[in-house]
Amino acid sequence: MSLLSLKGNERQKTVVVTVTAALFLLSVLLGGWLLSDDRMATNLALRNLGPSLAHPFGTDWLGRDMFTRTLKGLTLSMGVGLLAATASVTIALILGMMAATMGKVVDSIISWLVDLFLSVPHLVILIIIAFTMGGGVKGVLIGLALTHWPSLTRVIRAEVLQLRSAEYVQISRRLGKSRWFIARKHILPHLVPQFLVGLFLLFPHAILHEAAVTFLGMGLSPHQPAIGIILSESMRYLSTGMWWLAFFPGVCLLLVVRTFDMIGERLRILFDPHRAHE
């Protein structure tokens, strides 16, 4: 088999894996949207049931179907993660371009901010921000958006610096084109792949950190079927043998996070200019 054939097969495999992973995530979202909330209503006659055909993930101490609660929780977490990751990537895009194009003073300030945020664990800053904002969806969203941009900012800054030295950018500058024109026509289009890859790679971090903060009681409301709340509540009942309350939601959360991470890695391979001809 020729080298070109091997490269083509690898690219096809990457596309198939990406599409399959996307379909899995779409099925989770559709399941969370389409399942009736009635299965999450209190029904003491069905409480503490183990996994079965009628209730694949069992029921909890109030008789609520854990399969429905898990899918609803994943849908909620994915929605929060999408909003937070989009905001964080947008911040990284703006700051990265500013650092690379607005002179040494701005570059130094932004680089100092990046080093400052990277010197403290994400979760610590996230908890502080969420607590300061009063918790809830607003506090978690703001905390996630303000803590996940530094690493991507560095990547975008380096990419913009490289693009600024490109020959076609230098020619455009000599022709008298404005900075805004160069940024809009020559730099931004090349940053779209970094934006998409960064979005999918930040997504799993945002979902996990949202679940962690909610698990600690400083995130989403206890009345919402968030995964962090489900896991937090299940801790009280593990000693009684109700292992399914934590096992299935935890495994599903890890599967969703790993799927997003896989899509991000595959997109990075597809968008990598060094592999563009594979």
Residue 159 falls within a domain, yes or no?
yes
Min mean pLDDT across 46-55, 84-93, 158-167 is at: 158-167
Q: What are phi and psi of 241, to 5 degrees?
A: 95, 5
3-state helix, strand, coil split of the chain in percent (to 5) is 75, 0, 20
pTM of this structure: 0.78
pLDDT band at 10 (very low <50, low <70, confident <90, very high): low
Judge whether residue 278 has pLDDT over 80: no
Residue 3 falls within a domain, yes or no?
no
Tally of domains in the chain: 1
Here the CATH number for the domain that contains residue 95 is 1.10.3720.10
Q: Is residue 186 within 8 Å of residue 172, measured between CB atoms?
A: yes
Residue 50 falls within a domain, yes or no?
no
Query: Which residues lie below 8 Å from residue 239, measured CB to CB, with a gap of 6+?
Result: none
Query: What pLDDT sits at residue 112?
Result: 92
Judge whether residue 170 has pLDDT over 50: yes
Residue 98 falls within a domain, yes or no?
yes
Q: Which domain holds residue 259?
A: 13-34+66-275
Query: What pLDDT sits at residue 276?
Result: 43
Judge whether residue 122 has pLDDT over 80: no
The larger pLDDT score, comparing residue 259 to residue 224, is at 259
Judge whether residue 236 has pLDDT over 80: yes
Backbone region of residue 43 per phi and psi (left: phi > 0; alpha: psi in -120 to 50; beta: other values): beta
Query: What pLDDT sits at residue 227?
Result: 84
Per the listing, tokens 């099925």 go with 27
Range picked from 160-164, 249-253, 260-264 for highest mean pLDDT:
249-253
User: How far out from the chain centre does Cα 137 lie?
Assistant: 16
Q: How many CB atoms lie within 10 A of CB 95?
A: 23
Residue 48 falls within a domain, yes or no?
no
Residue 24 falls within a domain, yes or no?
yes
Q: Is residue 189 within 8 Å of residue 126, measured between CB atoms?
A: no
Residue 53 falls within a domain, yes or no?
no
- Please name the amino acid found at residue 83: L
Query: What pLDDT sits at residue 8?
Result: 56
How far, in Å, CA of 150 to CA of 91, rounded? 9
Residue 85 falls within a domain, yes or no?
yes
Query: What pLDDT sits at residue 272?
Result: 63
pLDDT band at 161 (very low <50, low <70, confident <90, very high): confident
